[in-house]
Amino acid sequence: MRARALGSIAPALALLAVAGCDGGAVRPMQTMTTKSDLSEWIRTLFFQITAWDALVFTIVVVALFLALFVFSTRVGEAAPPSGAVSSLGLEAAWTIGPALVLLMISIPTIRTIFRTQAVKAPPGALIVKVIGHQWWWEFQYPALHVTTANELHLPAGRPVRLLVGSADLIHSFWIPQLGGKRDCIPGHVNQITLIARVPGRYWGECAEFCGTSHANMRFQAIVEGPAQFAAWTKAQLATPESPSGGPAGAGALEFANSPCTACHTIEGVSAGKVGPNLSHFAGRATLAGLRPNTPSNLAAWLRNPQRIKPGAQMPGLALSGDQLNDMVAYLEGLK
Ligand code: CUA
């Protein structure tokens, strides 16, 4: 029977072992492959608490087995009369023991909580305002005068102070490999301070149910070296392309005269604030935070956004084939 029990536990243990392996690329939403100081602290905390839990678990299981097999009577045997009297020493032990374990868990937990939301931003920190919308993310860099959507660029090795808020209802900002989660609450600003350490692209998502397309409220964090980050900033500050001829030129005219301008900003063309800023739309690798930013995916999005992001506020554009191609050519030129 012991062998059978072990046999049934072994696959579960093997699964657990595999789950702990480094597989950031394969399992982008796991927290064990840490890429920032914040996620590292949280992982360390997880291991510390697991160690204490394991100790408690072991003591309980040993006590259980002793009670079952050592300090128990056999069938047919009369139970000896109990001579138990209250024992101050024992009672003190099982009060102080668990209290110590709770203390060992709460001290590092509270320390990590305070560490991750320091009252003052660390010197030299880059401030980024994160604003959750149904169902997309806005990122503003006040000192750089940059506003973008669904792709959060962060410089590696530099402290970042994220000021997390919401434009409508409660969302939750979460990049598993960089740390989080933190609620985005309308009329309130939450903070996350972290230093992203490893350059790369990391998936993030909304972690608080916020309506129809909650599961589609995804985004990417792009951690890059200082030179690449500076180059990205420069590209964001450049005046967007304003083509005059060809399909892109026709698309530019079409955009300027369309209802798109009421919701979207393209620097020098429109100043809508309802949807993502499109000034440098083609500089993003993803579309709507969900798909690769390719002409065919963009055409599919413009035709019927609801199909890709059900419930999205953006209506389908009733464009003819040529008009659609022109609009795609224009938007995909906005590097
Ligand atoms: Cu936003 Cu869920």
Q: What is the mean pLDDT of residues 285-291?
A: 91
CA distance 315 to 310: 11
Kindly give the distance from the C-alpha atom of residue 255 to the centroid of ligand 1, in angstroms, as a whole number. Answer: 29
Kindly give the distance from the C-alpha atom of residue 187 to the centroid of ligand 1, in angstroms, as a whole number. Answer: 16
Residue 223 has phi, psi (to 5 degrees) of -95, 125
Query: What is the atom index within ligand 1 of the atom nearest the CA of 207?
Result: 2
pTM, two decimal places: 0.83
pLDDT digits (tens, 9 = 90+) for 15-39: 555 454 444 456 778 888 889 999 9
Q: What is the mean pLDDT of residues 266-295?
A: 92
Instruction: State the pLDDT at residue 28.
Output: 78
SS3 call for 224: strand
Kindly give the distance from the C-alpha atom of residue 293 to the centroid of ligand 1, in angstroms, as a whole number. Answer: 22
Higher-confidence residue of 77 and 231: namely: 231
Q: Which two tokens stand for residue 44?
A: 């360390």
Q: What is the mean pLDDT of residues 236-250?
A: 89
Query: What is the atom index within ligand 1 of the atom nearest the CA of 215?
Result: 2
Question: Nearest-CA neighbor of 220 among 176, 181, 264?
Answer: 176
Query: Mean pLDDT score of the chain, rounded to an integer?
Result: 88
pLDDT digits (tens, 9 = 90+) for 160-217: 999 999 999 999 999 999 987 899 999 999 999 999 999 999 999 999 999 999 999 9
Q: Does any ligand 1 atom lie closer than 6 A to the CB of residue 126?
A: no
Identity at 187, one-letter amino acid code: G
Decide the pairing of beta strands 126-133 and 159-166: parallel
Q: Does any ligand 1 atom lie closer than 6 A to the CB of residue 217?
A: yes
Q: What is the mean pLDDT of residues 245-273?
A: 91
Instruction: State the pLDDT at residue 3.
Output: 54
Q: Does any ligand 1 atom lie closer than 6 A to the CB of residue 132?
A: yes
Kindly give the distance from the C-alpha atom of residue 183 to the centroid of ligand 1, in angstroms, as a whole number. Answer: 10
Instruction: State the pLDDT at residue 120.
Output: 85
Kindly give the distance from the C-alpha atom of residue 214 to the centroid of ligand 1, in angstroms, as a whole number. Answer: 4
Query: What is the atom index within ligand 1 of the atom nearest the CA of 214?
Result: 2
Q: Does any ligand 1 atom lie closer than 6 A to the CB of residue 208?
A: yes
Residue 64 in this model has a pLDDT that exceeds 70: yes
Residue 1 in this model has a pLDDT that exceeds 60: no
Instruction: State the pLDDT at residue 18.
Output: 47
Q: Are 222 and 153 in contact (CB under 8 A)?
A: yes
Question: Nearest-CA neighbor of 171 among 208, 226, 213?
Answer: 208
Q: Does any ligand 1 atom lie closer than 6 A to the CB of residue 269?
A: no
CA distance 120 to 158: 15
Decide the pairing of beta strands 218-224 and 151-155: parallel
Residue whose CA is at the smallest distance from ligand 1 atom 1: 171
Share of the chain above pLDDT 90, in %: 64
Query: What is the atom index within ligand 1 of the atom nearest the CA of 209?
Result: 2
Query: What is the atom index within ligand 1 of the atom nearest the CA of 217?
Result: 1
